[in-house]
Amino acid sequence: MQVVRLHFGSQEFVLPPDADVDGLRRRILEAAGGPAAFVDFETSAHTSVSLLITPSAAVRLETRELVSGGPDDGSAFTPYGSFDEHQLVFDEFEF
């Protein structure tokens, strides 16, 4: 399964699994090629978003393949792995 994120400035939007990413990419390119224009899309949280795209706007689409059948430790969603990998053992410290 793929997760697609759209980055615009400091904002990040997760697109739904059935999003037409190629169509969104075309609409962004069209908007960036002329005067400023809004590009509308839906997020995976069922939120409607409207971005004002200009020729100088930086938009990044990031696609990540989620591996199925691997350990369900949350590492597919967090860049630092599971919480269990980073637990502190307090017996090692003197208080």
- Tens of pLDDT, residue by residue over 28-57, are 999 999 999 999 999 999 999 999 999 999
pLDDT at 65: 86
- What residue segments make up the domains of the chain, in order of their start? 2-68
pLDDT per residue over 15-31, tens digit each? 999 999 999 999 999 99
Beta-carbon-side half-sphere exposure of residue 47 (alpha carbons within 13 Å) = 10
Judge whether 43 and 14 are in contact, CB under 8 Å: yes
pLDDT given at position 74: 47
Task: Report the distance separating Cα 85 and Cα 15, nearest Å.
Answer: 29
Question: Are 80 and 86 contacting, i.e. CB atoms less than 8 angstroms apart?
Answer: yes
5 and 13 in contact (C-beta within 8 Å)? Answer: yes
